[in-house]
Amino acid sequence: MKKMFKNLIVAVMFMFVGTAFAAAQQGKGYTLLSPAQPASTPKIEVLEFFFYECSHCFHLHPLLADWAKTLPSDVQLTFVPTIFRDSTEPLARTFYALESMGKIKQMDDAIYQAIHIKQANLYDLDTIGAFVASNGVDRNKFAATYQSFTVNSKIANAKQMIRRYGINGTPTLVVDGKYVITGLQPADTIRVLNEVIAMARKAHPAEKKAKSK
């Protein structure tokens, strides 16, 4: 009888420890955005706020790129370049110009490698134009797109998003407009990202399933 009572106490203790551990994960793996922001897609939206010169973004990039290759059909990944000061805007413009030209997949790795491995200074249109041209991108088309109305609009929208989401560091991932993942090692970031997506899917599975068809 005493043994059964002892076992019961141990089981209860483990139950409380497990509950405490699970509750702590919100603070360790992710936080909740307040106020939550509306997603721009009926799918589960994953936003990565990044900066090409950020070493943490550089280390996360290959893992996130591999993860994106097997993106679930009900998930949409969108990259948002951060602009914390005027001097960082050229790289954000570069991203949006290449994205508009359909060249971002071709150039994304090259930009990270140039900055973090080759120590290239890509701070203005002239140096960036020469760089993308050396990687097979039409320099004149790039320059025209870089300064286009479309890119201007995307830059303005990115600045608004940075303010609305309260982004103050990179990389920061926001899932479904409310789950924020930042400050983790790359492998942990991907692990928590998958866990949070599963949570978001469970929160309103019928709605997500209907809208993603």
What is the full per-residue pLDDT of the chain (213 aa) written as tens digits? 444 444 444 444 434 334 333 332 555 699 999 999 998 999 999 999 999 999 999 999 999 999 999 999 999 999 999 999 999 999 999 999 999 999 999 999 999 999 999 999 999 999 999 999 999 999 999 999 999 999 999 999 999 999 999 999 999 999 999 999 999 999 999 999 999 999 999 886 555 454 444
According to DSSP, the β-strands at 31-32 and 172-175 are unpaired
Q: How far apart are CA 34 and CA 53, in angstroms?
A: 28
The reported pTM is 0.83
Contact 80, 162 (CB under 8 A): yes
Q: What domains can you pick out in the chain, each with its CATH number?
A: 31-211 (3.40.30.10)
Angle made by CA atoms 180, 78, 113, in degrees to the nearest 5: 95
Q: How far apart are CA 34 and CA 50, in angstroms?
A: 20
Tokens of residue 77, six digits: 């990944």
Sequence-separated contacts (24+) of 56-60 with Cβ below 8 Å: 56/170, 56/171, 57/112, 57/170, 57/171, 58/112, 58/115, 58/116, 59/186, 60/171, 60/186, 60/189
For the chain, how far is it from start to end, CA to CA, in angstroms? 58
